[in-house]
A and B are shown apart, each in its own frame.
Chain A
Amino acid sequence: MGLLSDPNRRRALTTLLTRLNTPLCVVCYLAGVAWFMGLAFQPFTLRTYMSENAMGSTMVEEHFPAGERALAMGREFSAHKKQAGGMPVDWLVKAMQAKGLEVFTQSFSRTLPFPDENKERYMVRGTNVYGILRAPRAPRTESLVFSAPCSPQGNDQAVGLLLGLAQYFRGQIYWAKDIIFLVNEHDLIGMQAWLEGYHHTNSTGMSWTPLHGRGGSIQAALTLELSSDVITSLDLVLEGLNGQLPNLDLANLFYAFCQKINVLCTIQGKLQRNDWDSVAGYSHAVQTMLLMVLKQASGRPWGDHGLFLRYHVEAATIRGINSFRQYKTDATTVGRLIEGMYRKLNNLLERLHQSYFFYLLPSLSHFVSIGYYMPAFGLLILIPLLRALDLWVQLEGAAPAAVDGLVDGEQPSSPGFLSVMTPVVISHLTGVALYTLPVLAQQAAVEHFPVSETEAVVLTAIAIYTAGLALPHNTHRVLSGQGTEEGWRVLKLVAVLYMAVLLACTALINFSLGFILALTLVPVAAFITPHVPRIPSALAMVLLSPACTLLFSVFVYQELQETPVSLLDGWSLFLSVISQGILDHNLYGSLVYPLISLLVYPCWLLLWNILFWK
């Protein structure tokens, strides 16, 4: 007889499973965490290399001469910006036309769902200015984008360098693609409006004027943020919306040119170290990787480039940093680096597709590909599956026992469909409330409480979240059948499977978010039963809930950035992160807030229900 259909063998397997379940879960969890930490260890990573044949090596001669003139233009831009009190549209249009580009503008406006206290804006109205450098001999089928955001203070040198490079590029004849020089206002909102106008989509409810000039399908894009005349290092920012990353070849290209031109390059703001075999070197790599994981998990675009990725355009942001270091790099060198990168991107024949799209970078020269980091998550996801099997076995064991048992006294009633579905439905309704109410009810909250709109939204969200903790006591009044042994087992089976599927799907799209949620939710799912001591496990569950995970992540992120915060500052940062999450979802379509509120939070509530089953 087959292995699973033979009752004797089956019983042996199931007893083995039941006996070894807890140790196996613990081993899997520790193995998953250890695997993840081991990813940053240099011998386990691979050196980065250029995969695209057409881009080849850094074999170009960079001739950009006009760094000082670019800085002068930046100062002019800053003066006109102060005068105009925003984007100096007319001056910029005239300047770009003088350089020989085809200049167009786009105006856009958006009313945010509630005021953004970080950037101090509510009703946003602005103009994007972009100039197209047409390829001298090529058909207008492909283009590259170079953008610099126009912010109220700072970033003038970037716009100056953009204009300087535009003038230099215009004098060359080897461009095979159009180059679009974009200066966007109100950073991400302006960029979203431009991209929507360029690709003829409208997914976020922004209103913008249509674009009059287009350049062909965009192959790659770079955003420059430069706020000082000289820099000491260049930082590369890769994480985009919903944790999407550009093709690794773009990072490889940047790193190759940094090495050729001898500019200090960093990622996550951290310099590379050579001593990978020492504890300090390893912890440095772990910190860099953890920063990338946290940034990717937040699902927000960390530079203006983050919105390009959704349209399958490989994009990255280069940020100039001026710290207290001896060796300074001037604007001409930065211009040469960008010129070299654009000459290499010009050689592309098709979109960047040869290198990895899913990776983690413990440093700029080493990477971890999806094949290496996914097993860490796989080990964690094994735990809910093991638990599900265990519960299934227990349920099977209980049913025949009920049949064989003598019918005397109370008959253990099989859990009704309603008693399982009710917690599920109520949890999801709470999730829906958490998703919709904060923004909808902000007016009512402002009338009744002395808080601003942003605070109202965030505090409503936290209030609904905490109110969900009181649910089990209320649902029990609704339920007719009281808590039975089988009832909670069925509910836990459903919850555990639901969580496994949810986390697996999340990890496929955004590995970091899935991994961080799994780290905290999987132990909860594994060990929650009605029989564990109530108060300590309730406390543990609250500490491992998504909101507290977010709070801890904020503190960990600040620690890793080497700017640790006090508890009060951390709390206010946590509140602003929640408001940013809701805003990102409304403005750019970030999926983290709906995921947490509509799917992860109800899942956690189901487990909370199980804890208070009796």
Chain B
Amino acid sequence: TWSWLALSRSALDSLFLCVSHFGSVSLCLCLGKAGQFFSSGHTNNWAVLVCTSRFWFNYRHVANTLSVYRSVKRLGIPDSHIVLMLADDMACNHRNPKPATVFSHKNMELNVYGDDVEVDYRGYEVTVENFLRVLTGRLPPSTPRSKRLLSDDRSNVLIYLTGHGGNGFLKFQDSEEISNVELADAFEQMWQKRRYNEVLFIIDTCQGASMYERFYSPNLLALASSQVGEDSLSHQPDLAIGVHLMDRYTFYLLEFLEDIHPASQANMKDLFKVCPKSQCVSTPGHRTDLFQRDPGSVLITDFFGSVRKVEITMESVNLTSPIVLVPHPPTSIFLQKPKQRDWHPPDGFILGLWTLIILIFFKTYGIKHLKHIF
């Protein structure tokens, strides 16, 4: 794979040489787009979409996940590259007045369930352990391929989590939690096992920003629907079904993604603008410091779609320059785990406290004891 990049680089050089020598118009057009071919380092896309809550009144979390699943599939990622985890079955719940459907828009405009939805982990299989095993790849040998995240170091992985969360944790199935430290460590494991090229992590829960606070592995881009101390609110109350159908952030995210098609040039900066405070009531947040590239140059389809850039040309290209090995930029950076500095009271405080204690001691019992101390 390294040689492929090196070869492509050299091909680009030779193309430039060709232009300078021949000045052909069609080659100029090729060159204009050639730069984009190699701007990102990924060759395949994966998606891990997780809904962590069960019970009928958490209908909206399943609808959230299924909406993102729908967009991701529409933009090109096949089912074999999507790991979909749904903690409860809303479509066949006894209380669903429209069985076999999950709606994401009131007035039942959009049914995100159907006969082409492949749920890989369902019901009680959605646990913290299974989620972490999927991410790190430590699954028993009998696990079928559809339940595995078979990503490599050229994969861009989209990870979407939704459910009920709090400051530093996400609740799974009403019985257990995953903490932000665990999640950060799981990503570090993925990095060390070369299981991703870049990760886009989106979380839509209350206080979602706390979940990406502890990340320390490189090439992670994170988005959350609300800051610490804020609640993510639900949207789309549907009177016929009797529950809220979507959460606000994912609703506006879905609206944004409906405008994206496989050739669209929208970048991450547009994604950061999705659902401002006026629409979402909570303040969405994002984290880009661990990400190598500038978010403005990252296309939405780098993560949400599975775009193969193919250009058919009738020209032959002569590659004359020798192959130069270009080192892969991210390997040279190994970030350390940030030191956790807990809050200590300022030193002056402790000094002052002891001074006060000694002063009071001497005031009560007299100065004559001083000579016994010193």
Please report A residues at the B interface, Cβ cutoff 8 Å: 53-54, 56-57, 59-61, 135-138, 172-176, 343-344, 346-347, 349
Query: Could you tell me the distance between the alpha carbons of A137 and B97 in the complex, rounded to whole angstroms?
Result: 11
Q: Which residues of A contact B57 (CB under 8 A)?
A: 53-54, 56, 347
The answer to whether B242 and A59 touch across the interface, beta carbons within 8 angstroms, is: yes
8 contacts between A and B (CB under 8 A): A57-B237, A59-B237, A59-B239, A59-B242, A61-B239, A137-B99, A174-B96, A347-B56
The 5 closest A-B pairs by CB, nearest first: A176-B94, A61-B239, A138-B94, A174-B97, A60-B242
- Of the residues A53, A56, A61, A174, contact of B95 by C-beta under 8 Å: A174
Query: Does any Cβ of A come within 8 Å of B124's Cβ?
Result: no
- Of the residues B92, B95, B237, B239, contact of A347 by C-beta under 8 Å: B95
- Of the residues B94, B240, B243, B244, contact of A135 by C-beta under 8 Å: B94
Q: Which of B56, B93, B94 is most buried by chain A, counting CB atoms within 10 A of its CB? A: B94
Query: Could you tell me the distance between the alpha carbons of A176 and B95 in the complex, rounded to whole angstroms?
Result: 6
- Of the residues A54, A57, A173, A174, contact of B55 by C-beta under 8 Å: A54
Query: Could you tell me the distance between the alpha carbons of A175 and B55 in the complex, rounded to whole angstroms?
Result: 15
The answer to whether B242 and A347 touch across the interface, beta carbons within 8 angstroms, is: yes
Q: Which residue of A is nearest B93, CB measured?
A: A176
The answer to whether A349 and B94 touch across the interface, beta carbons within 8 angstroms, is: no
Q: Which residues of A contact B239 (CB under 8 A)?
A: 59-61
Q: Which residues of B contact A174 (CB under 8 A)?
A: 94-97, 242
Q: Which residue of B is nearest A175, CB measured?
A: B94
Q: Which residues of A contact B93 (CB under 8 A)?
A: 176
The answer to whether A137 and B94 touch across the interface, beta carbons within 8 angstroms, is: yes
Q: Which residue of A is nearest B242, CB measured?
A: A60
- Of the residues B55, B92, B240, B244, contact of A349 by C-beta under 8 Å: B55
Least Cβ–Cβ distance between B91 and chain A, in angstroms: 12
- Of the residues A53, A56, A173, contact of B97 by C-beta under 8 Å: A173
**Beyond the given A57-B237, A61-B240, could you list 7 further A-B residue pairs with CB under 8 A, ordered by the A residue number?**
A53-B57, A54-B56, A59-B243, A61-B239, A61-B242, A346-B95, A347-B95
Please report B residues at the A interface, Cβ cutoff 8 Å: 55-57, 92-97, 99, 237-240, 242-244
The answer to whether B56 and A349 touch across the interface, beta carbons within 8 angstroms, is: yes
Q: Which residue of B is nearest A61, CB measured?
A: B239
| SS class, residues of chain B in contact with chain A | loop
| SS class, residues of chain A in contact with chain B | loop
Least Cβ–Cβ distance between A577 and chain B, in angstroms: 45
Q: Which residues of B contact A56 (CB under 8 A)?
A: 57, 243
Q: Which residues of B contact A57 (CB under 8 A)?
A: 237
Least Cβ–Cβ distance between A370 and chain B, in angstroms: 28
Q: Which residue of A is nearest B97, CB measured?
A: A174
Query: Could you tell me the distance between the alpha carbons of A344 and B95 in the complex, rounded to whole angstroms?
Result: 10
Q: Which residues of A contact B55 (CB under 8 A)?
A: 54, 349
Q: Which residues of A contact B95 (CB under 8 A)?
A: 174, 176, 346-347
Q: Which residue of A is nearest B56, CB measured?
A: A347
Q: Which residues of B contact A53 (CB under 8 A)?
A: 57
Query: Could you tell me the distance between the alpha carbons of A136 and B92 in the complex, rounded to whole angstroms?
Result: 12
The answer to whether A173 and B237 touch across the interface, beta carbons within 8 angstroms, is: no
Least Cβ–Cβ distance between A63 and chain B, in angstroms: 9
Q: Which residues of B contact A54 (CB under 8 A)?
A: 55-57
Q: Which residue of B is nearest A137, CB measured?
A: B94
Q: Which residues of A contact B240 (CB under 8 A)?
A: 61
Q: Which residues of B contact A343 (CB under 8 A)?
A: 242
Least Cβ–Cβ distance between A565 and chain B, in angstroms: 48
Least Cβ–Cβ distance between A139 and chain B, in angstroms: 9
Q: Which residues of A contact B243 (CB under 8 A)?
A: 56, 59
Least Cβ–Cβ distance between B56 and chain A, in angstroms: 6
Query: Could you tell me the distance between the alpha carbons of A174 and B238 in the complex, rounded to whole angstroms?
Result: 15
Least Cβ–Cβ distance between B212 and chain A, in angstroms: 27
Least Cβ–Cβ distance between B124 and chain A, in angstroms: 16
Q: Which residue of A is nearest B239, CB measured?
A: A61
Least Cβ–Cβ distance between A368 and chain B, in angstroms: 29
Q: Which residues of A contact B238 (CB under 8 A)?
A: 59
Q: Which of B96, B97, B242 is most buried by chain A, counting CB atoms within 10 A of its CB? A: B242
Least Cβ–Cβ distance between B247 and chain A, in angstroms: 15
Least Cβ–Cβ distance between A62 and chain B, in angstroms: 9
Least Cβ–Cβ distance between B292 and chain A, in angstroms: 43
Query: Could you tell me the distance between the alpha carbons of A174 and B90 in the complex, rounded to whole angstroms?
Result: 12
Query: Could you tell me the distance between the alpha carbons of A59 and B241 in the complex, rounded to whole angstroms?
Result: 9
Q: Which residues of A contact B242 (CB under 8 A)?
A: 59-61, 174, 343-344, 347
The answer to whether A173 and B99 touch across the interface, beta carbons within 8 angstroms, is: yes
Query: Could you tell me the distance between the alpha carbons of A344 and B242 in the complex, rounded to whole angstroms?
Result: 8
Q: Which residues of A contact B94 (CB under 8 A)?
A: 135-138, 174-176
Query: Could you tell me the distance between the alpha carbons of A557 and B240 in the complex, rounded to whole angstroms?
Result: 45
Query: Could you tell me the distance between the alpha carbons of A136 and B238 in the complex, rounded to whole angstroms?
Result: 22
Q: Which residue of A is nearest B238, CB measured?
A: A59
Query: Could you tell me the distance between the alpha carbons of A213 and B237 in the complex, rounded to whole angstroms?
Result: 38
Q: Which residues of B contact A347 (CB under 8 A)?
A: 56-57, 95, 242
Q: Which residues of B contact A137 (CB under 8 A)?
A: 92, 94, 99
Least Cβ–Cβ distance between B238 and chain A, in angstroms: 8
Q: Which residue of A is nearest B54, CB measured?
A: A349
Query: Could you tell me the distance between the alpha carbons of A343 and B97 in the complex, rounded to whole angstroms?
Result: 11
Least Cβ–Cβ distance between A159 and chain B, in angstroms: 28
Least Cβ–Cβ distance between A11 and chain B, in angstroms: 32
Least Cβ–Cβ distance between B168 and chain A, in angstroms: 22
Query: Could you tell me the distance between the alpha carbons of A172 and B95 in the complex, rounded to whole angstroms?
Result: 10
Q: Which residues of A contact B92 (CB under 8 A)?
A: 137
Query: Could you tell me the distance between the alpha carbons of A61 and B106 in the complex, rounded to whole angstroms?
Result: 13
Query: Could you tell me the distance between the alpha carbons of A59 and B244 in the complex, rounded to whole angstroms?
Result: 9
Query: Could you tell me the distance between the alpha carbons of A56 and B57 in the complex, rounded to whole angstroms?
Result: 8
Query: Could you tell me the distance between the alpha carbons of A456 and B95 in the complex, rounded to whole angstroms?
Result: 57
